[in-house]
Amino acid sequence: MKLSQLFTKTEKLPPAEEVSANAQLLERGGFIYKNNSGIYTFLPLGWRVLQNINQIIREEMDAIGGQEMQMPSLINKRYWEASGRWEVDVMYKLQDANKHEYGLGWTHEEVTAEIAKRYLQSYKDMPFSLYQIQTKFRNEARAKSGILRGREFLMKDLYSFHPDEASLNEFYWQVAEAYHKIFKRCGLEAIITEASGGDFTKEYTHEFQVLSEAGEDEILYCEKCRYSQNASISQMAKGGKCPKCEGKINSGKAIEVGNIFRLGTRFSKAFNLNYTDEQGAEHPVVMGSYGIGPSRLVGTIVEVFHDDKGIIWPASVAPFQVYLISLDGTRVESDKIYKKLLSKKISVLYDDSEERSAGAKFADADLLGIPVRIVVSTKTLKEDSVEIKRRGADGFELVKIKELEGWLTK
């Protein structure tokens, strides 16, 4: 895409009211637009990043057998009453013209349990899992961390259905493995952290926590084996010994990017979601639920990967792979390189302006954080070359134009 055609523009200064690095940099770069506190638009650049993350999540969810679907956000009061969750603080409630009451979807255990009831009869129908990537609504008391905590945000929510605890546990750890892959593919190390089960279950739940000063949580973790507990429940202490490997325990602020819950039979009992076993006896279905916040992930990546000049996207989620800059009136030659890269299916943001200064172009390249910057100038063309720099690394490389494709694909 040509930068001159992108409807957004970068800004030199962050919006005055934003305090978090993710919101400042994403707004300056034109990745997101703040409509209201905790409510953001993903602009074309931000949407590309979000879609890349969603694609990674989809691939890993599909790989463990997750079936993607899309459920409603307008959820009738009867669902919440069945599970005893109508009086939940975070739910936005509304009424339609016929005075029917609804809660805006902030999670979907109730809806999935009811849908599953139509198709699930026998032990032979399980296990299975279904998921969606959907906008969620939560009446969050404070929304100061940019897109880390939205009132409207994206969630990937997966729900699984099992005949017994053993089947649930097997799948639970498969999901944990898939989550590690997802976060790793996004360039992040997520520490799997034990946390108390809230009102869902007496067993531990697990959170996936990314160490960052921007996080709202505090975790204790072993420096050696990464065993970790959320500080709010933990018996471990900073400086102490790891109960698993005797390594040293450290603590740090962290962002929760995902979590997994063993729900047990709470929701299946609420919706009479039962199955018959081999002997024909009836039992409640055992459920699990597993969340990831893709929009929070965008913010987390920015919190972890930025410097004083801007964002440094990992290539796997970057909105474009190459930022191509034309200098000194080299438009004709740059156009050719642009077209050639596109024909090789390399995504390029092409800074094609003939008016903007080199300094402004370099500053945008740094702010937008695209992994590879390619500069075409009269100087480089004298050597039939372009100058290549990786975002976040020092030093340049001169690469012959005819070797460019090979360099980029290696």
106 versus 362: smaller Cβ distance to ligand ATP = 106
CA distance 186 to 56: 8
Contact between residue 349 and residue 322 where contact means Cβ atoms under 8 Å apart = yes
- Decide if residue 131 touches ligand ATP (CB under 6 A): no
**Interface segment toward ligand ATP; rule CB under 6 A; list 44-52, 149-157, 314-322, 359-367:** 149-157
Nearest to 101, CA basis, from 132, 70, 76: 76
**Interface segment toward Mg ion; rule CB under 5 A; list 131-139, 177-185, 251-259, 313-321:** 251-259
Read out DSSP for 90-116? T--EEE-TT--EEEE-S--HHHHHHHH
Binding string to Mg ion for residues 202 to 241, with x set by CB under 5 A, is what? Answer: ----------------------------------------
110 versus 256: smaller Cβ distance to Mg ion = 256
Closest contact distance (angstroms) between CB of 406 and ligand ATP is 39
Closest contact distance (angstroms) between CB of 31 and ligand ATP is 16
Tokens 């949407």, located at residue: 47
- Decide if residue 291 touches ligand ATP (CB under 6 A): yes
- Decide if residue 194 touches ligand ATP (CB under 6 A): no
The correct pick among 150, 252, 310, 319 for binding ligand ATP (CB under 6 A) is 150
- Length of the chain in residues, anyone? 410
- Decide if residue 293 touches ligand ATP (CB under 6 A): yes
Phi, psi values for residue 255, rounded to 5° = -105, 125
CA distance 328 to 323: 17
Subset of residues 84 to 123 that bind ligand ATP, contact rule: CB under 6 A:
107
Subset of residues 308 to 327 that bind ligand ATP, contact rule: CB under 6 A:
none
Nearest to 238, CA basis, from 253, 252, 257, 224: 252
228's tokens: 């970790």
Tell me if residue 76 falls in helix, strand or coil: strand
Binding string to ligand ATP for residues 231 to 270, with x set by CB under 6 A, is what? Answer: -------------------------xxxx-----------
Q: Which residues contact 334 (CB under 8 A, 6 or more apart)?
A: 324, 326, 350, 352, 376
CA distance 114 to 78: 11
Residue nearest to Mg ion (CB): 256
CA distance 165 to 132: 24
Q: By the criterion CB under 5 A, which residues form the site for Mg ion? A: 256
Residues binding ligand ATP (CB under 6 A): 107, 138, 140, 149-150, 153, 155, 256-259, 291-293, 295-296
